[in-house]
Structure 1
Amino acid sequence: MKVLKFGGTSVGSSNNINKVIDILENYGKEDAIVCVVSAIGGITDKLLLAGKQAQNKEDAFNDTFNKIKDIHFNIIKELNPTNSDAILNYVDEKLEALKSLLEGIYLINELSPKTSDKLVSFGELLSSFIIAETMKNRGLSADRKNSQELVVTNSNFTKAEVDYKVTNNNIQDYFKSVPQNITILPGFISKSKAGEQTTLGRGGSDFTAAIVAAALKVDQLEIWTDVSGMFTSNPKMVKQAYPIKKISYQEAMELSHFGAKVLYPPTVQPVLTLGIPIHIKNTLDPEAEGTIISHDPVNANGPVKGISNINNIALLTLQGSGMVGIPGFSKRLFETLSQEKINVILITQASSEHSICLGVEAKDAPLAKSAIDAVFENEIALNKIDPIIVETGLAIIALVGDNMKNHQGISGKMFSSLGKNNINIRAIAQGASEKNISAVILENDVKKALNTLHEQFFETKTKQLNVFITGVGNVGERLVEQIKQQKKYLKENLKIKLRVVGLSNSRKMIFNEEGIDLKNWKEQLENGEKATLDAFFEKTKSLNLRNSIFVDVTANKAVADMYAKYLKQSIGVVACNKIACSSDYENYRLLKRLSLEYNAPLLFETNVGAGLPIIDTLNNLIASGDKVNSIHAVLSGSLNYVFNNFNDKTKFHDVVKQAGVEGYTEPDPRIDLSGVDVARKILILARESGVEMNLEDIENISFLSEAGLKSDTVEDFYETLIADEAHYQKLYASAKEKNCQLKYVAKFDNGKASVSLQEIPEGHPFYNLEGSDNIVMFYTKRYAQQPMIIKGAGAGADVTASGLFADIIRLGND
């Protein structure tokens, strides 16, 4: 004999019920079948709603009743298109009884637990009758047996306790001689010894099936639901979650208690003692392997078997110096909650005995506070303890696994990975058995926490990065294209799953939590929503994704001013925008401090030298104990390009224009040609060397004409270049006469910095610097005579984009 149970979703439509009947017919060819069914999906909730509406004197209970009636009638007609009259007449009679019950509740304005059990029992009674009669109509050997005639309980309404001795005898006696091959039983419902209708608690259909399986000592209990087993985490929140093939009874109970809705926790109890395995199967995918729950499962998933959560939690804290060393506080606290029938989900107490924290359902918090404050009224009045503190908007996440106790560092990995993603932990509970490690967090952080932990414990060292890019002009576009090109390589070779989740330009912005399709991102962006810096930040923040990275591909001060907001949310920042790190020294230090405090990386390698590893090299020198004495550098690829292409046969205006076309200068070339851009770069290097310095401390000797310096607009500036051609030709002629090359040089020496156009003699390392190349010479304590030199392309959209991309990848490797 086999025992199968089908849940509400499995019998939630005529289509699904047909699948159930097919499964039963197939099983019935070889074995006698006991099939326990839940109410049609959503009906129990509607019954409770109707009861509450009637109790509150709301006429809307009639509308809810009619919805219940329509759902059942429609399913009956769809299942039995030519032979439904008898079923409809019976169901209509039962529904009239239901309506009379609701009208009675309406009249007396009361819904007691006893009446509630009578009310909700209609769901299973109707679904089991409809399924059994449909099977009969199709010629199958099937019949229904009312579980209320088998399962006997006490009178603890809404969650009755089973009298196993009487119940087991009833079940065994009945199934000794049943004529039908398939017996349909309504789950969840029972009767007290006094003959009153009771229920086994929400989810009790699983329990009914387990009771029957244990009484009949079957080889296996099958629970059929709408998912393919118990998953490593909630698949609706964690896309990478997958079914657990085998799991122990204890692990299954822990996961069930902590929100895994596939299994009702008490289900395990009747079959655990007898060692009857439970097989979780999928009605919608009968061939799927599912999950087997047994005494000794193979430990294929490692020490952690699953990650689960409970939402709508309130944290109650009882604290005060008067508690220390005084026995009895805990006893009084728990007795109070027990008397109010408030279930405690989590308990944690500091060894100092100064405080006790309790997790309860949020709906119970007001009653709990009122009751506890009343019990401890005297101690509160004497200031020995504080009034109970209630925190809401919380959730519990839990790691579950029998073998966690045999593996060091599980809790360390858990809390470290949560901390890195700015998930604050309000309370922790861990038993000595270490089958369950629980933490209380904000409910808004649940999805991020589950994904973070799943990545840590279940995924093959693959780290998901969620990237938000502001600025998709020349460099930004190249960055997006590089990401699109390298996504597969990153996943296969570096185990980095990189998703661009947000994109913005100055006008529009788009977001996709699952990752923007980069094949047509330009069209999507054109049709996106209106962009503002604050809106982009708020959306990034609200998505609350793990390993989030904000990438600034602009030269905009307003964007740079947003960095602190991102860092405070533990969102990493990658920037080619030099404004933030060359801003006031206090702001620079603030960003550095926030990066450390919130564990949010701040990377800006492209601030100096585009894709060249200049800042990284400098940081490594400092970190290894070296000391920078001086820095000599050509740091502007734009200016190097200009002066490498300017001579007595060209015009300065034309060369500058061409540099803009090639993408070497900013849209406003004055930023490059005024020396401000180079000054910012040497300032950043000086600061990274450990020197406190501001931009105004740098001597900037400009080579521009007076008119060029005073120009108000970009157009005016270009006009001055034409007018002052002789000024620039004079600079070239002077260098040529001395057989020198013009290079715009930045220097940092003895705590002072300067930038200026210089005539570089032949033989100097800067002399043959070609194209838009940059070069940096670090003179340090270790490199005192022969400097460390870094040289290469220092400007251009592709190399700048690759530098940004390298910083992003670096975060993936951390």
Structure 2
Amino acid sequence: MQALRINVILFGIGNVGSALINQVIESQQFFLENRNIDLRFPIITNSTLAFFEKEGVKNSWEANFTQLAFPFTIADIIEFAKNNELENVIVVDATNSSELVKHYIPFIQSEFDIVAANQSANVLHIDFYKEIRRNLKKFDKTFLYETNIDAGIPVLQIIKDLYYSGEKITKIRGVFSDSLSYIFNTFSSKDLPFSSVLKDADKKGLLKADFKEELSGIGVAKKLLVLARELGKETEFLDVEITSLLSHRLEESNLKSGFLSNATVLDKDFEVGKIIQPEGEVLRYVGEISIPENRLEVKLVSEPISSAIGQLKDTETVYEIYTQSRGNNPIIVRGDNSEKKSETIARGILIDILKVSEKIKLKETIWL
């Protein structure tokens, strides 16, 4: 049987997008031999330029992109796919763009499936969220975004499976951020000022360009919102109660260097917080959804060191999923983020691409 060709239109060739292309190139033969799937990249883009290749990206894709890419519009992308009769198209959004998601519905209406690391489509107004789902149903298309929550583990899939099986989820809580996990795991276990731990995290590459969003709790809040909506809650971002880790003075500092040089103003409050904890407990920054109360919170808590959250090390993440049938005995889902983050996210995107590919293959089998 001829291999099923999957045409991936990739938006974003930063660390994640580049890692994704290289992972596919490295495993191309494996996918052909073991899954009968031929993954191609006929279009790859950065924020301003696109490279169009009828035969799909090869090992020299970076040089080809530099030499042959040119400015594009979304209409150009859709027209190229139509004119070249590209079948089984999956749009992959490996950007952080809030603008690109505005084109998701035209993509779906052009009969493209979508895989996204970008959270934007799932945290914008609920009307937009619902309109995407309406179009997905109308055009029988798929939208996967496992890496919106945790790139290293399929926590979103586990929650979906529980929800759609009729299991009543009552609460989800945990440490959702690898950088915040490292910061509080280190602060709780070592005799260091909080500002020193932040600088250490930065040296390890854990404080990214969006560090203020992470430290203010916005990053965790967005993940809570995605999870709540998966559980059928018509919740908006403003419904999430967020306790920021930043003082108002620090929130005014946009440059990371300036922020870190002034971070000593945080030391006293966090040191006091550590001292007044009950014995055998540690500080953790958690996200929590309580379904019966319809309450979403991002907050700093004191957690027993014997608990799943209290036992975290390094950059590990953990999700506690409470259900009606299990009571106070939650399902524990742990994430180990020791691999380079861009590689982990790329691998998560690739898994979603393969899931969509298998769904396309099943449809084709039924049609035959």
Fold-level match, TM-score > 0.5? yes
| Cα 1:739–1:705 shift into 2, 3 Å | farther
Letter in 2 for 1:520: S
Query: 1: distance between equivalents of 2:272 and 2:85?
Result: 58
How do 1:52-67 and structure 2 match up within 5 A?
none
Q: Give the aligned partner of residue 527 of structure 1.
A: 67
Query: 1: distance between equivalents of 2:258 and 2:79?
Result: 40
Query: 1: distance between equivalents of 2:269 and 2:81?
Result: 52
Q: Give the aligned partner of residue 630 of structure 1.
A: 171
**In the alignment, does 2:206 pair up with 1:673?**
no
Q: What percent identity do the matched residue pairs reach?
A: 27
Query: 2: distance between equivalents of 1:760 and 1:813?
Result: 42
Tell me if structure 2 keeps the 8 A contact 1:744–1:757. Answer: yes
- Offset of 1:668 from its aligned partner? 2.1
Q: Give the aligned partner of residue 227 of structure 2.
A: 685
| Cα 1:478–1:645 shift into 2, 3 Å | farther
Letter in 2 for 1:700: I
Query: 1: distance between equivalents of 2:263 and 2:29?
Result: 48
Q: Give the aligned partner of residue 807 of structure 1.
A: 352
How do 1:405-484 and structure 2 match up within 5 A?
459-460=1-2, 462-484=3-25
- Offset of 1:769 from its aligned partner? 1.2
| Cα 1:643–1:534 shift into 2, 3 Å | same
Secondary structure, in 3 states, of the residue corresponding to 2:120?
Answer: coil
CA offsets 1:563-605 (integer angstroms, 9 cap, x no match): 2221121111111111210111111111122122122211000
Tell me if structure 2 keeps the 8 A contact 1:474–1:663. Answer: no
Q: Give the aligned partner of residue 366 of structure 2.
A: none
How do 1:502-521 and structure 2 match up within 5 A?
502-517=43-58, 519-521=59-61
Which of 202, 213, 238 is equivalent to 1:696? 238
| Cα 1:533–1:634 shift into 2, 3 Å | farther
TM value normalised by structure 2 = 0.88
Query: 2: distance between equivalents of 1:636 and 1:549?
Result: 28
Tell me if structure 1 keeps the 8 A contact 2:285–2:298. Answer: yes
| Cα 1:713–1:593 shift into 2, 3 Å | farther
- Offset of 1:777 from its aligned partner? 1.4
CA offsets 1:704-735 (integer angstroms, 9 cap, x no match): 12212233444543343245444444444445
Tell me if structure 2 keeps the 8 A contact 1:466–1:501. Answer: yes
Query: 2: distance between equivalents of 1:630 and 1:726?
Result: 33
**In the alignment, does 2:307 pair up with 1:767?**
no
- Offset of 1:622 from its aligned partner? 1.6
Q: Whose RCO is larger (CA < 8 A, sep 6+)?
A: 2
Unmatched runs of 5 consecutive residues or more in structure 2:
360-368
Query: 1: distance between equivalents of 2:77 and 2:228?
Result: 31
Tell me if structure 1 keeps the 8 A contact 2:287–2:299. Answer: yes
Q: Give the aligned partner of residue 562 of structure 1.
A: 103
Query: 2: distance between equivalents of 1:663 and 1:533?
Result: 34
Query: 1: distance between equivalents of 2:238 and 2:326?
Result: 29
Query: 2: distance between equivalents of 1:571 and 1:666?
Result: 31
Tell me if structure 2 keeps the 8 A contact 1:474–1:797. Answer: yes
Tell me if structure 1 keeps the 8 A contact 2:16–2:345. Answer: yes
| Cα 1:702–1:533 shift into 2, 3 Å | farther
Query: 2: distance between equivalents of 1:658 and 1:530?
Result: 40
How do 1:707-722 and structure 2 match up within 5 A?
707-722=249-264
**In the alignment, does 2:150 pair up with 1:621?**
no
Letter in 2 for 1:711: S
Q: Give the aligned partner of residue 549 of structure 1.
A: 90
Q: Give the aligned partner of residue 758 of structure 1.
A: 301
Query: 1: distance between equivalents of 2:28 and 2:70?
Result: 28
Secondary structure, in 3 states, of the residue corresponding to 2:17?
Answer: helix
| Cα 1:662–1:694 shift into 2, 3 Å | same
Letter in 1 for 2:328: Q
- Offset of 1:758 from its aligned partner? 1.4
Query: 1: distance between equivalents of 2:269 and 2:77?
Result: 47
Query: 1: distance between equivalents of 2:154 and 2:197?
Result: 28
Q: CA RMSD in A?
A: 2.3
- Higher mean displacement: 477-486 or 641-650: 641-650
CA offsets 1:520-569 (integer angstroms, 9 cap, x no match): 22222222333455366445544441111111112221122222221121
**In the alignment, does 2:350 pair up with 1:797?**
no
Letter in 2 for 1:813: E
Query: 2: distance between equivalents of 1:654 and 1:614?
Result: 32
- Offset of 1:674 from its aligned partner? 1.0
Query: 1: distance between equivalents of 2:96 and 2:57?
Result: 24
Query: 1: distance between equivalents of 2:205 and 2:108?
Result: 30
Query: 1: distance between equivalents of 2:355 and 2:279?
Result: 45
| Cα 1:701–1:807 shift into 2, 3 Å | same
Tell me if structure 2 keeps the 8 A contact 1:668–1:714. Answer: no
Between Structure 1 and Structure 2, how many residues are aligned?
A: 353
CA offsets 1:180-227 (integer angstroms, 9 cap, x no match): xxxxxxxxxxxxxxxxxxxxxxxxxxxxxxxxxxxxxxxxxxxxxxxx
Q: Which has the larger radius of gyration?
A: 1
Query: 1: distance between equivalents of 2:97 and 2:198?
Result: 22
| Cα 1:586–1:480 shift into 2, 3 Å | same
Query: 1: distance between equivalents of 2:216 and 2:99?
Result: 21
Q: Give the aligned partner of residue 79 of structure 1.
A: none
| Cα 1:596–1:717 shift into 2, 3 Å | farther
